[in-house]
Amino acid sequence: MSWDGFVDGLRTGVVWLMDITSVPILVYFAVINLSYLLLIVLASIDFRAQHRRREAVVETFGGALSPGVSLLVPAYNEEMGIVTSVQALLSLRYPRHEVVVVDDGSSDGTFERLRAAFDLVPIPRQIPQDVPVRARIVDVHVPRDGRTRLVLVRKENSGRSEAINVALNAATEPLVAMIDADSILEPDALLRVTQPFADDPIRMVAAGGAIRPVNGSRVVSGRIVKVQMPKPWLARIQVVEYLRAFLLGRTGWSRFGALILISGAFGLFRRDVVVEAGGLDPDSIGEDFELVLRIHRKLHDEKRDYRVGFVPEPVLWTEVPSTLGVLRNQRRRWHRGLWETLWAYRGMVLRPRYGKVGMIALPYYWVFELFAPLLEFFGIIIVPLALVLDVVNIPYAILFLSLAYGLAILVTLSAMAAEEWSFHRHERWRDLGLTLVASVLENIGYRQLTVWWRLEGWWASLRRKKQVWGVMTRTGFGEAGE
Amino acid sequence: MTGRDLLWASSALVLLACLALVLLIVLTKVTRTVRERRTAELVAPHRPHLLAVASGEDEGGTHRDALIEVDGPARDAVDVVVVDLLGKVRGAPAEELASVLLAHGAVDRAPHDLRDRSTLKRARAAHILGLCHVGAALPLLVQALGDPAPEVRVAATRALGRIGEPTASAALLAAVGADRVVPAGPAADALEGMGVGISGSLRDALSASSPTTRTVAAYLSGEGSFSRSLDALRVALACDDDPTVREAAAVALGRMGRAADVVALLRETGADRPRALRRACAAALGELGEPSAVVGLTALLGDPDPRLAEIAATSLLLLGPAGRSALDSAASNPSVETARALARLQAGAA
């Protein structure tokens, strides 16, 4: 075949492809963005009222029905920050909470640092196997002072999920919160996030707390003292992304009564429900998502009246990736976890017995979360190809792209407006300006890269390639005053 | 209209919407900043008076009188600060602050505002009535428990708690399980503020149809040691449908039960009972402090659930010489060793 013939054939193929896909893709874009806007509107309705109520909760220091909380902290080679983290967790404002640290076979000085800082002594406690755990427990320590509510369990290395399951078994309070050792909780976070459990002690089984990037903010002794935008644009864009997807999106789903994802970095659960469900699945990549879906399935199967909610007040600050390599690993893992979990729970999709979860949330995640990068990738390939082959004119293509990305920017700006109206965590004008710029820049390069990485993760799963967690290189919180 | 026209129109619309949102964000920030600055300016001259009254250092009443004299736009700003302060102070300073609101007419307006169309106004009115302990507003606040807006229902609940009139307790407990539900947390706080007069309502609420109402009633019965609830708690422990209610009943019986309750609590530690209930009952037996529980608790030391065994050992330690003697016979049991080690550490700290 001659070159011209090849080009003509390709041109015909591209025209055919564009003909059959243009309307469905436009409809897809419109629906996905409208759904985002709808979620943001739902979230906004909740924001201000909840904000006022939470202040009252903070003033009354929780209240009579505030359940006790066990903070489950898996730690693997965290010697640099573990003492500060545990001290910060122990000093949270809450009437009754304990910290259960599980040292997951660290090879550094994690245990020694904790032993020295809290004067730990061993006790012969046997940890129950409420949730079966494969790894061997080495020993259990508590502070010598007999007052500090800290328990340290050492076990052989077997991963984060098993570490959390061990902590779950060792926990003694009715609520458990899974927290990463390298994150920062706000001092009043527990008072706020337990509020739905105190308000509805029978039906509330799980609640997610809002997570925000800590990069760039000023941290002193494990406490955020000034919220600021980070300097690198990569992190700035993630600030905007977290705001839109995690804060507004999940509040919207919660308001709608179909929240199916609580981030593993900070989730609060009724201990008995997690135990009944079997704890975290150590073989799952998206273990947090998988757990929540398993709880939904179990409670629906048992026809129990229950609630899963989200607390939008920013409560946990975490460091987001500041290099492309780490970000790539994270996004690959997230999408792989999304795919594997959705596939594992495909039996719930469009089944009326699973209510809104089965009829709306899960189909939505399949169509607009799982397949979104595939369709976007198609657009990224086909539009430049069509331009090169001269089958669409340039102004038309630019117009099409402007509309597509304009809608995405509109969604982000709506999320920012809702945030500014309710929480307004970024006080400086400069930060507001940077956030606005980041909402535009997100669509130039960043978005396309994440599309590719997500597809990589999906592809790796389909090829049954072993998941490598990689190392989350942390630059630290820029601690001041220490 | 052609496809291209539609695309143009859509793009223009999206662009306009984006610009409008940017403007909205900026305006929101500007408005808030200006409002906060303006409020701070209005309140600044009166802040020394506010602080003096709130800290109880206004012996002659001059600062309170100065606050009462405030008029114009500053009056509303001062009232907002007074309401905030009233949520934080008690006793004579609170009464002085309330008198400022009374003199400014805020208290007189509140009953009327409770019927306003604005949710914010209704919630604020309920809040003020509670802060100023306006007992005459009780029927209105009870009515507000059924308000369509959750914010107003919560404000009314808190207001009833501040007024502390136990006659409202039955309505409040019923509202916890109503269609327009009052959250259990604020309701329990409010009921705690009503004193011993709620005992009858608590007893009745233990047989309510809503498990949330029964949980709140069981919890508060134990917290306040309301012995009128004892029979109902025993029934709840033995046969309530909801495991949360049964656990709350077990905890309450542990706090105020009688020797006869040992048998009932021990029965619920049976291997066929839910794990959480077994543990709650074992702990309750320690709280109860009846030596007749020793045999039953000793049997639990060998339970396959090590957490239950440890709780049983801890409870035995609380039962005095008989309990400690029972532990001696199982000294090598890890659960016993753990309970004793923890007790030693706690004793060392004390």
Contact A420 B7 (CB under 8 A): no
Q: Do A416 and B4 touch (CB under 8 A)?
A: no
- Please indicate, yes or no, if residue A169 is contained in any of the structural domains: no
Look at residue A239 and tell me if it is in a domain: yes
pTM: 0.90
Q: Among A403, A405, A407, A411, pick the best mutation site for testing chain B contact (most B Cβ within 10 A).
A: A403
Q: Which pLDDT belongs to residue A56?
A: 55
Of A126, A200, A420, Cβ closest to residue B212 = A200
CB contact under 8 A, B341 and A399: no
Q: Is A175 in the B-facing interface, judged by CB distances under 8 Å?
A: no
Domain membership of residue A412 (yes or no) is yes
Angle between helices A447-462 and A324-344 (to 10 degrees): 50
Question: Does residue A128 belong to any structural domain of this protein?
Answer: no
Give me the interface pTM, i.e. the ipTM.
0.88
Higher-confidence residue of B171 and B11: namely B171
- The domain spans of chain B are 258-350
Percentage above 90 pLDDT, chain B: 81
CA distance B165 to B172: 11
A146/B345 Cβ within 8 A: yes
Chain segment A220-278, per-residue pLDDT in tens: 877 888 889 999 999 999 999 998 887 888 889 998 999 999 988 889 999 999 999 99
Mean pLDDT, rounded, of chain B: 92
Q: What is the mean pLDDT of residues B92-101?
A: 90
Could you tell me the pLDDT band of residue B302, with boundaries at 50, 70 and 90?
very high
- Give B274's contacts in chain A (Cβ within 8 Å): 272
Residue B62 has pLDDT above 70, yes or no: yes
* CA pseudo-torsion sign A225, A226, A232, A234: positive
The stretches of A70-159 forming alpha helices (DSSP H) are: 82-90, 110-118
- With residue A177 as reference, give the H or E element that holds it: strand A175-179
List A residues 296-355 in contact with B (Cβ-Cβ < 8 A): none
pLDDT tens, residue by residue, B115-166: 999 988 999 999 999 989 999 999 999 999 999 988 899 999 999 999 999 9
CB-count burial class (<10 Å; 0-12, 13-18, 19+) for B128: buried
Residue A238 in domain: yes
pLDDT value of position B58? 85
Instruction: Please state the domain count of chain A.
Output: 1
Q: Which residues pair with A177 in a beta bridge?
A: A71, A268
Residue A401 touches chain B, beta carbons under 8 Å? no
- Chain A positions touching B183 (Cβ under 8 A) are 198-200
Tell me whether B200 touches chain A (CB under 8 Å).
no
Query: What per-residue confidence (pLDDT) applies to A481?
Result: 39
Any chain B CB within 8 A of the CB of A27?
A: no
- Contact between chains at A124 and B28 (C-beta distance less than 8 A): no
- Tell me what the mean pLDDT of segment B206-219 comes to: 96
CA torsion angle B174 B180 B181 B186 (round to 10): -90
Within A226-347, where are the H helices? 233-241, 250-256, 271-277, 287-301, 324-344
Model pLDDT for residues B188-209, shown as the tens digit of each residue: 999 998 999 999 999 999 999 9
Q: Is A357 within the bounds of a domain?
A: yes
Closest CA to A404 of A387, A380, A386, A385: A380
Please report the residues numbered 260 through 299 in chain B whose beta carbons come closer than 8 angstroms to any beta carbon of chain A: 274-276
Measured in whole angstroms, the distance separating CA B142 from the mean position of its chain's CA atoms is 18
Which of A477, A425, A53, A89 has its CA nearest to residue A266? Answer: A89
Residue A61: give the domain boundaries. 9-67+228-261+281-287+300-307+320-466
Q: Report whether A217 contacts A317 (CB < 8 A).
A: yes
Residues in B touching A53 (Cβ below 8 Å): 151, 154
Q: Is residue B151 within 8 Å of B179, Cβ to Cβ?
A: no
Average pLDDT of chain A is 89
Domain membership of residue A82 (yes or no) is: no
Residue with tokens 């009222």: A49
What DSSP designation does A479 have?
B
Low-confidence ranges of chain A (pLDDT < 50): 480-482
Measured in whole angstroms, the distance separating CA B24 from the mean position of its chain's CA atoms is 37
* DSSP string for residues in B320-339: THHHHHHHHTTTT-HHHHHH
* Strand spans (E) along chain B: none
Give the residue carrying structure tokens 């736009």. Answer: B73
**Could you give the CA distance from residue B108 to residue B40 in angstroms, rounded to a whole number?**
26
Integer Rg of chain A from CA: 24
Give which of A313, A344, A377 is closest to A461, Cα–Cα. A344
Residue A473 in any domain: the answer is no
A34 inside 8 A of chain B by CB: no
Task: Give the CATH architecture of domain B258-350.
Answer: Alpha Horseshoe (1.25)
Touching check for A60 and chain B: CB below 8 Å?
Answer: yes
**Among the listed residues B234, B113, B266, B17, the one whose alpha carbon sits nearest the alpha carbon of residue A409:** B17
Distance CA A328, CA A347 (A): 30
Nearest to A65 by CA among A175, A208, A169, A147: A175
Q: Does A6 touch chain B (CB under 8 A)?
A: no
pLDDT tens readout for residues A126-162: 999 999 999 999 999 999 999 999 999 999 999 999 9
Contact B56, B92 (CB under 8 A): yes
With an 8 Å Cβ cutoff, are A420 and B28 in contact? yes
Residue B297 pairs with which residues in a beta bridge?
none
